[in-house]
């Protein structure tokens, strides 16, 4: 059996990755401290509860399962929180990742797939964001992810740690079979907050800023379906297995949608009113983040099939109505 250690496998993206890995013939071993993850989301392979800073538990997991590779999703990922509590992001994301990377090297597990972010690029007016764009993060979330990318490069030079880095744009949608889906507590992301507001589960959505220099004044993001995103991870794993070496890939569709456009699509998909109010900008937000790269398509053979805004909201809505986790 070919095991892959999946940190954050009980979280939103990690749980979808576990499902995709299982479908591709691997055994995903979830390593998660359950602080933001959900045990109910661990459905596709063994589970080890542990923190990334806990070397003894990490070492034991590597010894027991002998994974051929690591997929590292576990992280704090809220821009707003990162602005208010940067130390938490540096400690959790960077210290935790360093501990994991050291444990992987010590165990001789030298293929590493890392979940990074377009937030490492920061604000670039009228510049196409591809993998060569300068990384100038605006917040501690992006900065912590960039630091981990740097650690991976150093560990490749010193110990031969091969890595595929995926810089995600905005991940959305859910497993169409609704076995797993997006469920954060607290929730901060646009689409799940909006679906909650539509259902009356929370107050109206606040649109963060209507005075950006965009056609309708709201921020523009490039949304990619979580199932397409994790398919790219499986391709990234195979890329490493084939010995193709370290590489960075953006994962976005190249199409940008404003917050107002997302609201309009949600109204159309759900056939319900979207209660929202207009509010001030959220500190740390960039005006526009859209991928300008086709590297994943051309080199990995990635073919996104569900990343239209309509399908992402439809799948999120189905999960939203069907799914939930209990601690
Ligand atoms: N957003 C919003 N109201 C909310 C949450 C998000 O207007 O309650 C906006 C946010 O300013 C950004 C976009 O929606 O422009 C996507 O935000 P999200 O937090 O989902 O992802 P991020 O871009 O921060 O990774």
Domains annotated on the chain, with CATH: 3-172+223-251 (3.40.50.720), 190-222+254-322 (3.90.25.10)
Give the pLDDT of residue 79. 87
Among 76, 190, 251, 258, the mutation site with the greatest number of ligand 1 atoms within 8 A of its Cβ is 190
pLDDT tens-place string over residues 174-230? 999 999 999 988 889 999 999 999 999 889 999 999 999 999 999 999 999 999 999
Ligand 1 atom 4, closest CA: 190
For the chain, what is the radius of gyration of the CA atoms?
19
Cβ atoms of 99 and 59 closer than 8 Å: no
The CB density around residue 272, as the number of other CB atoms within 10 Å, is 15
Pocket residues for ligand 1 (CB within 6 Å)?
79, 170, 188-190, 193, 205-208, 219, 221, 259, 282, 285
Please report, in angstroms and rounded to a whole number, the separation of the first and last CA atoms in the chain.
Answer: 30
pLDDT tens-place string over residues 45-68? 999 999 999 999 999 999 999 999
Which residue shows structure tokens 């209660």?
Answer: 275
Distance 146 CA to ligand 1 centre (A): 21
Half-sphere exposure of residue 239, counting CA atoms within 13 Å on the CB side? 25
pLDDT surpassing 70 at residue 69 = yes
pLDDT tens-place string over residues 111-156? 999 999 999 998 887 778 999 999 999 899 999 999 999 999 999 9
Confidence (pTM) = 0.96
Give percent of the chain above pLDDT 70: 99
Give the pLDDT of residue 327. 46
């Amino acid at each position: 059996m070919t095991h892959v250690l999946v940190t954050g496998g009980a979280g939103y993206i990690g749980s979808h990755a576990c499902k995709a890995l299982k479908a591709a013939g691997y055994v995903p071993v979830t390593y998660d401290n359950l602080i933001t993850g959900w045990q109910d989301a661990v459905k596709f392979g063994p589970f080890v509860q542990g923190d990334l800073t806990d070397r003894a538990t990490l070492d034991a997991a590597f010894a027991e399962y002998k994974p051929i590779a690591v997929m590292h999703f576990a992280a704090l990922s809220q821009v707003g929180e990162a602005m208010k509590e940067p130390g938490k992001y540096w400690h959790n994301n960077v210290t935790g990742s360093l501990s994991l990377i050291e444990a992987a090297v010590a165990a001789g597990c030298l293929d590493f797939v890392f979940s990074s972010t377009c937030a490492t690029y920061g604000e670039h007016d009228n510049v196409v964001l591809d993998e060569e764009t300068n990384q100038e993060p605006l917040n501690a979330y992006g900065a912590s992810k960039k630091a981990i990318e740097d650690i991976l490069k150093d560990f490749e030079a010193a110990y031969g740690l091969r890595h595929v880095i995926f810089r995600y744009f905005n991940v959305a949608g859910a497993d169409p079979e609704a076995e797993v889906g997006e469920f954060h507590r607290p929730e901060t992301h646009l689409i799940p907050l909006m679906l909650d507001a539509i259902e009356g589960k929370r107050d109206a959505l606040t649109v963060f800023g209507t005075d950006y220099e965009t056609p309708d004044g709201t921020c523009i993001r490039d949304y990619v379906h979580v199932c397409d995103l994790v398919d790219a991870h499986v391709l990234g794993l195979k890329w490493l297995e084939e010995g193709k070496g370290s590489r960075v890939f953006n994962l976005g569709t190249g199409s940008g949608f404003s917050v107002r456009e997302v609201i309009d699509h949600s109204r159309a998909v759900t056939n319900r009113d979207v209660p929202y109010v207009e509010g001030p900008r959220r500190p740390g937000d960039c005006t526009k983040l859209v991928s300008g790269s086709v590297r994943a398509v051309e080199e990995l053979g990635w073919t996104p099939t569900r990343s239209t805004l309509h399908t992402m909201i439809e799948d999120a809505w189905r999960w939203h109505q069907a799914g939930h986790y209990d601690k």
